[in-house]
Amino acid sequence: MAKNRTVFFCQNCGYESAKWMGQCPACRQWNTFVEEPVTKTASGRQTSRTASKQPSKLSGIQTEKEERIKTGIDELDRVLGGGIVPGSMILVGGDPGIGKSTLLLQVCQKLSAQHRKIFYISGEESLGQIKLRADRIGRFEDDVLLLCETDLEAVENVILKERPEMVVIDSIQTMYKNDIGSAPGSVSQVRESTNVLMNIAKTNGITIFIVGHVTKEGVVAGPRVLEHMVDTVLYFEGERHAAYRLLRSVKNRFGSTNEMGVFEMAGEGLKEVKDPSKYMLSGRPENASGSVVTCVMEGTRPMMVEVQALVCRTNFNMPRRTAAGMDYNRVNLLMAVVEKRLGISLGSCDAYVNIAGGVRINDPSIDLAVVCAILSSYKNIPVSDRLMVFGEVGLVGEVRAVRQAQLCIREGEKLGFDRCILPKANMDPQMSASKMLLQGVENLQDIYKILTAQ
Ligand code: TYD
Ligand code: MG
């Protein structure tokens, strides 16, 4: 008889180890290993090897035209790559309280209005609580089936009996399978539950949305374990105290991962923000030093954001540097380039850089605006609030071209900007038709001259 074996799993990333370790070698988190019994069915080793399959020729495979279900929530449809692919499995991750349940209930509302059979399974809330939330969201034209259940086998039976078109599981961490010894939310439970649901989705063509919580403490298995298994991973992020929420896709088998959806949490659920630029720039100071507006491409859509910098004399031996909304190392790098190429000594200055609005931007086309904001604050020269700046800065102090400059310029025009500083390499004759005054720069000296001369 096989011995009952136990294995240690990192609750953060799912790393498996035969013995306990203090630090996970994969994700470097401390104290995340928990002992879990391993049963025969765990870890998805269920596939039968006896069924012999013949390989098929690529050219001989017939595909039907991909059909997508539009939810009617444009911001979500775009992030999904144009709608939901039937039979796919979508993970929605995010901090507790960010709005995952709200978003999915709104999806249920929209899809049930299209007379689709929708199933909402909650392991966290009572029927009454779901009803209260539904009342806040608004009227449901058609009904949604609700179930409060955490036992996966019961869930499986009900789904197979009812055969809905779409199922929401809120959340995967509350689901458990009886024959696995470990607690709900542990890596083996989460992995096994996802496996079972995945099987249901693929064999019956049922779309399944699963909610996954992210906790830093590593008490509940992070959805990292699931990311490899599902088709699409969406992350809901944003400051808890700010009203807006950003929905990003980090993995999508059926679309691009660059797209971002913007929502606002209102009294009656999540509202789409169709024009994020206007939203991001609201409340901006006028003609203040250290504030510069830039434009970045978020997928196929340009978005204007304000970069702020505060540079002041340090009171410490070591200057303080902070970066909110962008990479800290990138800020240090840009400051080093400014020091070296412009001969400005920033070594005795504290510097705080912030992207207003709480978004996180990884696009290097923001570099030039960061440099401008730093220079503007250091020199105490206000930058016109009708000026926008974009471009990537290299280590030699050169300003490099960015993609889709034309779209960024058009977005600026739309919002009433009248001047734009951009990489010279992006200037092309077509742009002369622009209503804006365009100034191409080649390196940091150029931008320094423009800033100090204005
Ligand atoms: P919820 O969807 O429960 O978050 P999650 O499932 O990610 O944990 O949303 C929780 C927050 O949203 C809660 O603080 C209340 C707020 N909220 C609103 O502000 N307006 C609304 O219409 C709804 C439904 C929720
Ligand atoms: Mg919830």
Tens-digit pLDDT profile for residues 196-248: 999 999 999 999 999 988 765 544 455 567 788 899 999 888 776 777 888 98
Amino acid at 168: V
Q: Which residues of 44-75 are buried (b: 16+ CB within 10 A; e: fewer)?
A: eeeeeeeeeeeeeeeeeeeeeeeebbebebeb
Amino acid at 149: E
What value, to the nearest 5°, has the Cα angle with vertex 130 and ends 129 and 133?
A: 90
Mutate to test the pocket of ligand 1, among 100, 102, 234 (most ligand atoms within 8 A of CB): 102
Whether residue 437 contacts residue 450, with contact meaning beta carbons closer than 8 Å, is answered with: no
Alpha-helical regions (H) of 138-174? 152-162
Residue 282 exposure: Cα atoms within 13 Å on the Cβ side? 5
Report which protein residue has its CA nearest ligand 1's atom 12. Answer: 99
Whether residue 126 contacts residue 97, with contact meaning beta carbons closer than 8 Å, is answered with: no
Tokens of 379: 């020199």
pLDDT given at position 289: 93
- The low-confidence residues of the chain, meaning pLDDT below 70, are 1-3, 39-51, 215-224, 240, 432-433, 454
- What is this structure's pTM? 0.79
pLDDT given at position 240: 67
Report which protein residue has its CA nearest ligand 1's atom 9. Answer: 99
Quick check: helix, strand or coil at residue 426? helix
pLDDT given at position 47: 52
437, β-bridge pairs: 419
100 labeled part of a ligand binding site:
yes
Report which protein residue has its CA nearest ligand 1's atom 18. Answer: 267
- Give ligand 1 pocket residues (Cβ under 6 A): 94, 96-102, 133, 136, 265, 267-269
pLDDT given at position 219: 44
- How many angstroms separate the alpha carbon of residue 269 from the centre of ligand 2? 13
pLDDT given at position 274: 87
103 CA closest ligand 1 atom index = 2
Give, in order, the Cα–Cα distances in Å from 447 to each of 123, 338, 383, 389.
57, 11, 12, 10
pLDDT given at position 39: 65
171 CA closest ligand 1 atom index = 6
Tokens of 135: 């009342």
Mutate to test the pocket of ligand 1, among 237, 265, 268, 270 (most ligand atoms within 8 A of CB): 265
pLDDT given at position 216: 56
Which ligand has its closest atom nearest to the C-alpha of 95?
1
Which ligand has its closest atom nearest to the C-alpha of 93?
1
Name the DSSP class of 152. Answer: H
- How many angstroms separate the alpha carbon of residue 271 from the centre of ligand 1? 12
pLDDT given at position 7: 87
- CA dist 133 and 265 (Å) reads 13
Report which protein residue has its CA nearest ligand 1's atom 25. Answer: 269
Amino acid at 364: P
What value, to the nearest 5°, has the Cα angle with vertex 14 and ends 12 and 16?
A: 130
184 labeled part of a ligand binding site:
no
pLDDT given at position 42: 45
